[in-house]
Amino acid sequence: MQQKIDRSAISPDESEKLKDKLADNLQVSDGILEIRQILRHKKRFLDLLLLADEQESMINLYLERGEMFALYDQNILRTICVVTNEGDKTVELKNIATDPQYQKLGYGKKLIKFISEHYAGKYDTLLVGTGESPLTVLFYEQNGFKYSHRIKNFFTDNYDHPIYEDGKQLVDMIYLQKRLSNWP
């Protein structure tokens, strides 16, 4: 027997959320862990995006042109990232953030492994820029990135307020890169 859905029971807000979820494009699933490409309403993840990049106007510069992926474990959102095409067979990881209550559980590593495999073949290099924060730089090094170059005064020139991490003001942007052509 066909089950009847009482559509009046779904609020407009819930109905929009359902439409967003249906539009998300499933990339990987083992029944528990899922990675979805987010195709509409990327701003619904703004809270997480702001963890990695605290000025919304800077996020706006790459969010729409970027490809966004979200990692769910047992249907709970854990980590998101945004990747942009920078030309010359290079993609850049512009933003990656794990919900603070689920950090240090390996979700960031899993999402980086996924995007490394996803873009390998079509692109040669995965770039990432970060502030001079030892923990974050270590995270990228542990995930196969190596120091590439720095952009002097990037944070002081481009952000409308001083950005601090672990009590230290960020000044230069440090770029690290990973070759995708030899992946894995």
Nearer to ligand COA by Cβ, of 10 and 151: the residue is 151
Residue 177 binds ligand COA, judged by CB under 6 A: no
Residue 116 binds ligand COA, judged by CB under 6 A: no
Pick the stretch among 7-15, 20-28, 99-107, 167-175 that binds ligand COA (CB under 6 A). Answer: 99-107
Residue with smallest beta-carbon separation from ligand COA: 108
Residue 127 binds ligand COA, judged by CB under 6 A: no
For 79, the token pair is 């980590």
Exposed/middle/buried for residue 160 (C-beta within 10 Å: 0-12, 13-18, 19+): exposed
Residue 80 binds ligand COA, judged by CB under 6 A: no
Q: Where are the alpha helices (DSSP H) in 34-150?
A: 46-52, 56-60, 107-119, 134-142
Nearer to ligand COA by Cβ, of 51 and 58: the residue is 51
DSSP 3-state helix, strand, coil percentages of the chain (rounded to 5)? 35, 35, 35
Residue 144 binds ligand COA, judged by CB under 6 A: no
Q: Which of 38, 52, 63, 115 binds ligand COA (CB under 6 A)?
A: 52
Cis peptide preceding 184, ω within 30 of 0: yes
Identify whether the C-beta of residue 150 lies closer than 8 Å to the C-beta of residue 172.
Answer: yes
